[in-house]
Amino acid sequence: MRYPPGVSQPDFDRAVLEFEAAIGSDWVFTDEADVDLYRDAYSPMWGEEEEKIPSIALAPQSAEEVQALMRICNAYRIPVYPVSTGKNLGYGGSAPVLNGSVVLDLKRMNRIIEVSEDNAFALVEPGVSYFDLYNYIQELGLDLWIDCPDPGWGSLIGNALDHGVGYTVNPYRDHFEAHCGMEVVLADGDIVRTGMGALPNAETWQQYRWGYGPWLDGLFAQSNFGVVTKMGFWLYPAPEAFRSGSVQVMGYNDVHELVRVTARLMYSGVLNTNAGVQSPIQFVLGQNPEMAERYDRANAEDIRILDEFARSIDTPFWASQFKFYGPREIVDQSWEYTKRQFAHIDGVRFTDGENLDFPMPYEELMQTQDENHLGVPSMSVFQLGNRSNFNPTGSNGHLGFSPVVPMTGEAVIESNKVLGRVLREMGGSTVFNVPPYSYHQRTFTILVGFTVTRDVDANRKTREIFRELVKVAAEHGWGEYRTHTAFMDDCAQAYSFNNNALLRLQQRLKDAIDPNGIISAGRYGIWPKHLREDDDNA
């Protein structure tokens, strides 16, 4: 059995006996083979000394059992790392930030406590996956959609707490924004319900999120202040129809008007879902060193020649895909209205995309362009890095560097040039234009993907490039919305206004709420007092 840091062996041995008494010995995993299943399968530090490996794992089945375990951990000051389903692959999976922490695996807490069709909400435990909730709704024939992220096996709660996103409409696609009400076990074993849940016999816990007094839910996302054991989510009443369409513009500078109009349509609610900016000419430019150089320099003469080049090969410089959900008449008219808003751009082209009516049989949904955009969970996204004809050996996982940038044409061009230069200069992927996408309302996120291997040198290089991207992006005012556990300190340090005032406040809250610093030490850069270096208050 491995032992956690800062705990004597006799104390930990006693604690293990108490864990077994609290939840049963079958659910206290001490055998190294069992515990190794909690390593981060996509770790960019796999097999290196820096890789974080848990000591043991605990798998409670109820909030009461979580309370009992937290009391034991708090008494012995045992570092504990809660995970919902541990499927946050690419962001650390089920492995802790602090090596040797005890993993608190909440997968067995998998009850769907309530789903209301009329008021369109669900109340679930952390072990409930998107597949579970989707299947439950289908089996009962409820007229509701879920909003799911790319892989369907993750936890609704875990994904929302990490600010995960999906692809249908506002507010459902931003999973933390779509939540309403939480139950949280604190480090000392106390249990709290937020919002209207603080009212005994509350009848609107999943419908009125603010409750009474300061709203605290945000404290439990991307943090380490408690263990969330229940969470409510708003669900999307199934729409009648969906259609998509593409707007393509020919000139380099047309990106500004393309994005300006897109933003206006979003802020006014005509577009109530995500859209991105692709560059159809990107691949061709990448194959042409002269044009690639002109794109990177982009003075007036370069732009004139780039525009001529685009016209000569009849390829648009930029394109955006738009999606519409809702009643058939509104969906059709929204697309027509959207086209009219772009009609003044010289040479603009429009292409109709999918045009669907619901309900559709599952088999047909799985034949659409992307079922995740229709609220159907799947694992299709794992084609990313999978074995293919181009890469028959495949990868061992992936990572994403994902800074948030403004929704402007300037930011689209500037962020791709700046990040592209870092990648080229450091020998990383020479991706020319990483498509910005509005994963969250009112901003674009750039997603630079890396593959993870079992080659130590390759992974070290990836980490070096990733850290440089964090630094360079921050110099331009772009911060990550979420990151792998390996880079949580780097990203937290980038948010450094007023001598890291935000992080210092988070540390003060940590010290007050979890004074022994037992929960998820280091998560999102928040370290407890006894593990902080160079801290005047430590």
Partner 1 sequence: MRNVIFILMVFGAMQVQAQDAVHGKAVYEHWCSPCHAPGGRKHPGTSALEIIYKGEKPAVLEERLDLTPELVAAFVRNGVKIMPPFRKTEISDKDLADLGAYLSPR
Q: Which of these segments, 38-46, 159-167, 173-181, 236-244, binds partner 1 (CB under 8 A)? A: 38-46
DSSP at 403? B
Distance in Å, CB of 30 to partner 1, minimum: 12
Residue 111, SS3 per DSSP = coil
Q: What is the DSSP string of 7-52?
A: S-HHHHHHHHHHHHHHH-GGGEE-SHHHHGGGS-TT-TTTTSTT--
- By CB under 8 A, the residues from 113 to 142 that bind partner 1 are 131
**Please, which residue, 46 or 318, has the CB nearer to partner 1?**
46
Give yes or no for residue 43 binding partner 1 (CB under 8 A): no
Give yes or no for residue 394 binding partner 1 (CB under 8 A): yes
**Please, which residue, 421 or 454, has the CB nearer to partner 1?**
454
Give yes or no for residue 388 binding partner 1 (CB under 8 A): yes
**Please, which residue, 33 or 313, has the CB nearer to partner 1?**
33
CA proximity to 181, closest of 167, 169, 166, 198: 198
- By CB under 8 A, the residues from 151 to 170 that bind partner 1 are 152-153
CA proximity to 223, closest of 529, 528, 530, 523: 523
Distance in Å, CB of 135 to partner 1, minimum: 9
Give yes or no for residue 360 binding partner 1 (CB under 8 A): no
**Sheet strand arrangement including 102-105:** 28-29, 57-58, 102-105, 80-83
Give yes or no for residue 44 binding partner 1 (CB under 8 A): no
Long-range CB contacts (< 8 A, 24+ apart) of 124-127?
Answer: 124/156, 124/157, 124/230, 124/231, 124/232, 124/233, 125/157, 125/229, 125/230, 126/82, 126/84, 126/85, 126/155, 126/157, 126/158, 126/228, 126/229, 126/231, 127/84, 127/85, 127/155
Give yes or no for residue 89 binding partner 1 (CB under 8 A): yes
Paired tokens of 300:
């007036």
Give yes or no for residue 34 binding partner 1 (CB under 8 A): yes
Q: Is residue 339 within 8 Å of 351, Cβ to Cβ?
A: no
Which of 4, 126, 211, 385 lies at the binding interface for partner 1 (CB under 8 A)? Answer: 385
Which of 52, 107, 373, 523 lies at the binding interface for partner 1 (CB under 8 A)? Answer: 107
Give yes or no for residue 371 binding partner 1 (CB under 8 A): yes
In the block, which residue shows the tokens 């935000």? 502
**Alpha-carbon dihedral 202, 208, 212, 214, rounded to 10 degrees:** 130
Give yes or no for residue 181 binding partner 1 (CB under 8 A): no
- By CB under 8 A, the residues from 297 to 356 that bind partner 1 are none
Which of 12, 19, 42, 233 lies at the binding interface for partner 1 (CB under 8 A)? Answer: 42
**Please, which residue, 127 or 522, has the CB nearer to partner 1?**
127
- Name the amino acid, one letter, at 269: G
How many residues at the interface with partner 1, by CB under 8 A?
A: 39
Binding residues for partner 1, rule: CB under 8 A, are: 27, 29, 33-34, 37-38, 41-42, 57, 59, 86, 89, 93-94, 105, 107-108, 131, 152-153, 366, 371, 378-380, 382-383, 385-389, 392-398
